[in-house]
Amino acid sequence: MESQQEIAAALIRLGAATLGESGGLVTDPRLRPAWSGAALAGPAYPVGCTPGDNLAVHVAVTAAPVGSVLVVEVGPVPDRGYWGEVLTTAAQAAGLVGLVIDGGVRDVAALEAHRFPVFSSAIALAGASKDKPGTVGAPVRVGGVSVAQGDWVVGDVDGVTVVPGHRLTAVREAGEARASTEAALFESLRAGRTTLDLFGLDASLVVVEDRP
């Protein structure tokens, strides 16, 4: 039986784009890596914050299972630094493997130095309060996609894809098949065939003007 780390490595290898084309749920493009080269895959641990407050995030770092990716909803106040170097240090000590937050983070240089994968919708300097209600473990909506415990989250330079837990095997198998098909396509292109030919595209729909 595969370990969680082996599953994560396989999903990272396939990538968010391939998985998103294979049945995964594609989040809004506003969710981007906070630093170049960040990539993650792991089971989601959902967190819901009162807008402008990150108390629930602090609680989640202590409650999430080892190997989890925190997936955080902050509501209509995204422009706060809900996450920074302090929480990154705590999360790494707790064995967490990444963060996806539909809101702001800060201390970006430190996040990169820690090599802790973070995907956010903003970089924000202003801090958050730490005295409001929230939820940990309950479903949230992040980047336009509902996320629950048991779902898997994959993020890379292309964006973030959520794979529902009950569809993990099917999406992964479809992703592997797509990757294999694309590998054959690349070989055909290198051999001189065209995308028009391989995809059966109708070039007559496009007007091509000859240069004088």
Cα–Cα distance measured from residue 5 to residue 2, given in angstroms and rounded to the nearest whole number: 8
- Helices 55-63 and 85-93: angle between axes, nearest 10 degrees: 20
Cα–Cα distance measured from residue 32 to residue 29, given in angstroms and rounded to the nearest whole number: 7
The answer to whether 140 and 121 are in contact (CB under 8 A) is: no
pLDDT digits (tens, 9 = 90+) for 120-145: 999 999 999 999 999 999 999 999 99
Short-list 181, 172, 131, CA closest to 152: 172
- DSSP helix/strand/coil, 73: strand
DSSP 18-67: HHHTTTPEEPPTT-EESSTT--EEEEEEEEEE-TTB-HHHHHHHHHSPTT
CATH number of 4-171: 3.50.30.40
DSSP 197: H
Q: What is the pTM of this model?
A: 0.95
Look at the block and give the residue holding tokens 């290198």.
Answer: 190
Encode the chain (212 residues) as per-residue pLDDT tens digits.
Answer: 899 999 999 999 999 999 999 999 999 999 999 999 999 999 999 999 999 999 999 999 999 999 999 999 999 999 999 999 999 999 999 999 999 999 999 999 999 999 999 999 999 999 999 999 999 999 999 999 999 999 999 999 999 999 999 999 999 999 999 999 999 999 999 999 999 999 999 999 999 998 77
- DSSP helix/strand/coil, 153: strand
Query: What contacts 155, CB < 8 A, 6 or more positions away?
Result: 16, 31, 33, 38, 39, 40, 41, 98, 100, 117, 119, 161
- DSSP helix/strand/coil, 178: helix
